[in-house]
Amino acid sequence: EVQLVESGGGLVQAGGSLRLSCAASGFTFDDYAIGWFRQAPGKEREGVSCISSSDGSTYYADSVKGRFTISSDNAKNTVYLQMNSLKPEDTAVYYCASGAIATCLWPIYYYGMDYWGKGTLVTVSS
């Protein structure tokens, strides 16, 4: 059974940093790209970043480019999202997901994903 478990969310002041983790199990980690999505209240779930397992390519939404960094630790079957210079508009529930393919088809959309974590809440205060 494929499982994705997010952690690392919390409350932070604007300008601060958080690191989210996505622990994966139930599949060969090298086989699946992992994406991060976020959903703010009343808004559609949007793709934030993605990392391909095929070649390590990374992708970012324009709204987070230069502030967020996605990485993976194959030994730990974990993908990270380092979030710096956080803004109040980054407040959302953050989810990791996979479309069960090795390459990110950027931009990623929620309807293209097969597996989801339950999410972790990030709140950025002004």
Task: Look at residue 110 in the predicted model and tell me its pLDDT.
Answer: 86
Task: Look at residue 28 in the predicted model and tell me its pLDDT.
Answer: 86
* Class of residue 120 by CB neighbours under 10 A (exposed 0-12, middle 13-18, buried 19+): buried
| 84-106 exposure pattern, b = at least 16 Cβ within 10 A, e = fewer | eebeeebbbbbbbbbbeeeebeb
Task: Look at residue 111 in the predicted model and tell me its pLDDT.
Answer: 86
Task: Look at residue 30 in the predicted model and tell me its pLDDT.
Answer: 86
Which ranges of the chain have pLDDT less than 70? Answer: none
**How does pLDDT run across 99-111, given as a tens digit for each residue?**
989 999 999 988 8
